[in-house]
Amino acid sequence: MTRIPPPPSPSQNHLLAALPTAEFEPLAPHLELVKLPLGEMLYEPGDQLLHAYFPTTAIVSLHYVMESGASAESAGVGNEGVVGISLFMGGNTTPSSAVVQTAGHAYRLAGGKLVQEFNRAGLLQRLLLRYTQALMTQMSQTAACNRHHSVEQQLCRWLLLTLDRLPGNDLVMTQELIASMLGVRREGITEAAGNLQRAGVISYRRGHIAVLDRTGLEQRVCECYGVVKTELDRLLCDVRYRQNG
């Protein structure tokens, strides 16, 4: 039987779900549900940021792009967070780009409104600052992982972080795109994915990855996945408590 996805709701984003009614109601009329297709560029390096995006079912990849055109992912943002932290951190622009990694939906909020609500110094401000710390941890751990760990370990980390943001175990993703995000050669991803498939951990066909054995991924991944997940859970543990309560 086909599983019918729930209708879009701001509560699918953990940060928005954590806001009490008194703080969410002034924000709600300004939240615009938008569809984010695979590959859409939300902003490019140096762009003036006009909106923040609170993903619900979409996943957005933050990239740093070199002069040569080569790029690598510094972090991913899904339903746990927000795209556009430069708005409330005071920068308004960023040297990174943001591109949709997994198609889905998000709630878009005008940058000026986000800054206005942030400056009220309520719970939203505290949540956004704690999320920013978690995002910084993800970025620094990604840099260390890309330098010191094997391509297979990096792929396992990326798959697990992506699974944490999805309702199921299926990913629509090409090897070329994964290689671009990890900043490695496609041949390296082909070899790593082949190893995982032969071990029965994943099933792969062009453009589609199904995770068959999450425990197997967790046994093969480096410590970087655990560091990122633990820090996010530590900083936003009360978000999930309020969301589930």
Domain assignment of residue 3, yes or no? no
Give the confidence band of 154 by pLDDT, cuts at 50, 70, 90.
very high
Overall pTM surpassing 0.75 (yes/no): yes
Q: Write down the pLDDT at residue 107.
A: 98
141 and 186 share one domain = no
233 and 119 share one domain = yes
88 and 176 share one domain = no
Domain assignment of residue 26, yes or no? yes
Across residues 179-205, what is the average pLDDT? 87
Q: Write out pLDDT tens, residues 10-48.
A: 999 999 999 988 889 999 999 999 999 998 999 988 888
| Parent domain of 186 | 150-221
27 and 107 share one domain = yes
Secondary structure (H, E, C), 131-188? HHHHHHHHHHHHHHHHHHCCHHHHHHHHHHHHHCCCCCCEECCCHHHHHHHHCCCHHH
Q: Write out pLDDT tens, residues 63-114.
A: 887 777 777 888 999 999 999 999 998 877 788 899 999 999 999 999 999 9
Tally Cβ neighbours within 10 Å of residue 111. Answer: 17
Domain count, the chain: 2
**Cα 105 from Cα 8, distance rounded (Å):** 8
111 and 160 share one domain = no
132 and 25 share one domain = yes
Provide the CATH number for the domain around residue 114: 2.60.120.10
Q: Which residue in the block uniquely carries the two structure tokens 């041949």?
A: 187
DSSP label at residue 49: P
